[in-house]
Chains A and B, each alone.
Chain A
Amino acid sequence: MATTLVDRHNLKHHQLKDTPKGISKAEGWRRRGPLLPALVFTIIVTQLPFLVTIWYSLRNWNLLRPDGNKFTGLQNYADIFLDSTFRSSAVNSIVITLGCVFLAMVLGIIFALLLDRKFRGQGVVRTMLITPFLIMPVAGATLWSVSMLNPSFGLVNWVISLVGIPPVDWTAQHPIVSILMALVWQWTPFTMLLVLAGLQSQPKDVLEAAQIDGAGWTKTFLWVTLPALRRYIELGVLLGTIYVVNTFDQIYLMTAGGPGTASANLPFYIYQRAFLGFDIGQAAAMGVVVVIATIIIATFALRLIFRSFDTKD
């Protein structure tokens, strides 16, 4: 299977060939035509609501207080910076996202290396390993919080009891660890598939050459395989981060952000303020702050993405 990071040259190639500097106005619109429906639709559905969010964030508006909804300027933003739960939720967001992406990547690399060999039942094992990604996240979250991690009849406590460890009330005592278990379980197949694609694109002659040179497995891995995998790992980390940072299902179902707010991440905390506290103004301001932070981080991330898609080796 010839596996390469697509595009790299393609994009440049096409652009050089197909976008002469002075295409006529009519031709320009003819080219833009097919793009417009998707573009306009995306702008209306994703960008307009955000402008409204900015508007809400400048208002003192709590659905429970009928006298509310007046303009308050930047008061909501000032409140955020005094809100220690907002800060701890931000920290949790970072811990959960980085923790999940890192652990899923390490496990994914291990699984991919083990799968990238000919052995009996290879297809079955691969099918087993990708399944957690296909299980509905809501089902996965309840599976972990109830069937696996329940303190009295959960499977995990039974397994650790076999080696004499007393039962643990996982979601109450170690909420973030519990959430990470469910998340890493769900996302490892994703990183595994990416790394596996990278491994299978490795030219076999390079590996053979390394072996003939007497390089051991560790050396071959560190000096030949890992550098060749770099782009795939980068891509997995970036896309994984995009998906995982918005995690809501697992937190809502496993810990409800608790105990207290110990395991709330930003999406969950903002949801709580909006739909349980009905504090629209405050929640909107938090949303805006998160978006600004995301834009700053994304500017760097997007540069990396384009590098993995477009640059030549």
Chain B
Amino acid sequence: MTTTLTRPAVPKSAERKSREARRRFSGSAATTLTWLLAFVFFAPVIWLVMTAFKQESVAASNPPVFFFVPTLDQFAAVLGNGAGAYFLNSLIATGVSTVFVVLLAVPAAYAVSIRPVKKTQDVLFFFISTKMLPVVAVIMPIYVIAGQIKALDNIWTLVVLYTAMNLPIAVWMMRSFFQEVPSEVLEAAAMDGAGLIKTLRTILMPMVTPGLAATALICVIFAWNEFFFALNLTAANAATVPVFLVSQMTSEGLFLAKLSAASVLASLPVVIAGWVAQKQLVRGLSMGAVK
């Protein structure tokens, strides 16, 4: 890797001191730079939250106003605008699809890790390849078929689609967690004659609970934020939060502050979940490849 030259590193004390000082200086410079960049990168979020607490006329002023009397008017307006029904739809679509994903993915992951089927590699290949297929290529038949079976504008249609959308990721993730279970534990269980259900319930699941939480978190993020299916397949009854957000953009009048308040409310659940579970996030996003 590196050329390892042997040079005993015993610098004179004065030299060491100056090097130390330089390092401390560059360290604090790096810290300042880090904070500065983080602030710039985070600024749109701050701006979004600030705008949500403004009156419309203040929100759309030029130059921008940084000091103002905060108001909850916009939040009240958003909630009074029937946001509840959309949140309920999102909650159902996200919650139920995540439960389905877990119920389907855990046994499937078991079958590609602990007691693998013959063509494990092909199965994994198939699951991940469905994530690569562009959604637009299947939206028309889904739309037409859903229309024929009267499933348009129905929250269960979204539940089914979100389950299919997240299932491949969940299978990959759960597989990576199962593979960390020491094989001795499983051998011992097999000796005791424990079947699939019993092994899963009493031995595997307790050991991979953090993994299950990471998997569920990723499914929740993607389902909660999904827009394309919701836009095309729902209308008045089953529309979810992203669709509601878009409806806040009206062509007439000022809507910026209200839109910002709605954005804050819409993003809050996932932002808090992600903040709390930062460690799980990276593993989930890499489908289990990175711990």
Query: A residues touching B (Cβ–Cβ < 8 Å)?
Result: 1-7, 10-11, 14-15, 17-19, 23, 28, 30-35, 37-39, 41-42, 45-50, 52-53, 56, 110-111, 114-115, 117, 119-121, 125-139, 142-144, 146-148, 152-153, 155, 158, 161, 185, 188, 190, 193-194, 196-198, 206, 209-210, 212-215, 223-224, 227, 232, 235, 239, 242, 245-246, 248-249, 252-253, 266-267, 270-271, 274-275, 280, 283-284, 287-288, 290-291, 294-295, 298, 301-302, 305-306, 308-309
Among B2, B232, B289, which residue has its beta carbon within 8 angstroms of that of A7?
B289
Among B51, B137, B228, which residue has its beta carbon within 8 angstroms of that of A288?
B137
Q: A45-B161, A153-B64, A194-B285 are in contact. Are A249 and B227 (CB under 8 A)?
A: yes
Q: Is the CB of A155 within 8 A of B62?
A: no
Q: Is the CB of B116 within 8 A of A267?
A: no
Q: Is the CB of B285 within 8 A of A111?
A: no
Q: How many residues of B contact A (CB 8 A)?
A: 114
- Chain A residues, CB < 8 A from B183: 17
Among A138, A295, A302, which residue has its beta carbon within 8 angstroms of that of B242?
A138
Cα–Cα, bound, A252→B243 (Å): 12
Q: Is the CB of A239 within 8 A of B168?
A: no
Shortest CB distance A18–B (Å):
6
The yes or no answer to B115 lying at the interface (CB within 8 A) is yes
Among B44, B111, B125, B138, which residue has its beta carbon within 8 angstroms of that of A35?
B111
- Chain B residues, CB < 8 A from A1: 291
Q: Is the CB of B118 within 8 A of A28?
A: yes
Q: A125-B34, A193-B282, A213-B7 are in contact. Are A46 and B133 (CB under 8 A)?
A: yes
The yes or no answer to B141 lying at the interface (CB within 8 A) is yes
- Chain B residues, CB < 8 A from A34: 107-108, 110-111, 196
Among B4, B44, B266, which residue has its beta carbon within 8 angstroms of that of A147?
B44
Q: Is the CB of A37 within 8 A of B107?
A: yes
The yes or no answer to B92 lying at the interface (CB within 8 A) is no
User: Other CB < 8 Å A-B pairs besides A235-B286, A283-B136, 5 of them?
Assistant: A111-B41, A114-B37, A125-B35, A147-B48, A267-B136
Shortest CB distance B86–A (Å):
12
Among A56, A131, A136, A232, which residue has its beta carbon within 8 angstroms of that of B224?
A136
Cα–Cα, bound, A137→B222 (Å): 10
- Chain A residues, CB < 8 A from B260: 143, 147
Query: B residues touching A (Cβ–Cβ < 8 Å)?
Result: 1-5, 7, 9, 27, 30-31, 33-35, 37-39, 41-45, 47-48, 51, 59-64, 104-105, 107-108, 110-118, 120-121, 123, 125-145, 160-161, 163-164, 167-168, 171, 176, 179-180, 183, 196, 221, 224-225, 227-228, 231-232, 241-242, 245-246, 249, 256, 259-260, 262-264, 266-267, 270-271, 273-275, 278, 281-282, 285-291
Q: Is the CB of A4 within 8 A of B291?
A: yes
- Chain B residues, CB < 8 A from A47: 130
Q: Is the CB of A117 within 8 A of B30?
A: yes
- Chain A residues, CB < 8 A from B241: 136
Cα–Cα, bound, A129→B270 (Å): 15
Residue of A with least CB distance to B266: A136
Q: Is the CB of B163 within 8 A of A125?
A: no
- Chain A residues, CB < 8 A from B285: 190, 193-194, 239
Cα–Cα, bound, A198→B289 (Å): 11
Residue of A with least CB distance to B125: A302
The listed residue with most B CB atoms (<10 A of its CB), out of A46, A120, A291, is A46
Cα–Cα, bound, A17→B260 (Å): 56
- Chain B residues, CB < 8 A from A2: 291
Cα–Cα, bound, A305→B286 (Å): 11
Q: Is the CB of B64 within 8 A of A46?
A: no
Q: A18-B115, A41-B167, A153-B60 are in contact. Are A137 and B227 (CB under 8 A)?
A: yes
Cα–Cα, bound, A41→B101 (Å): 11
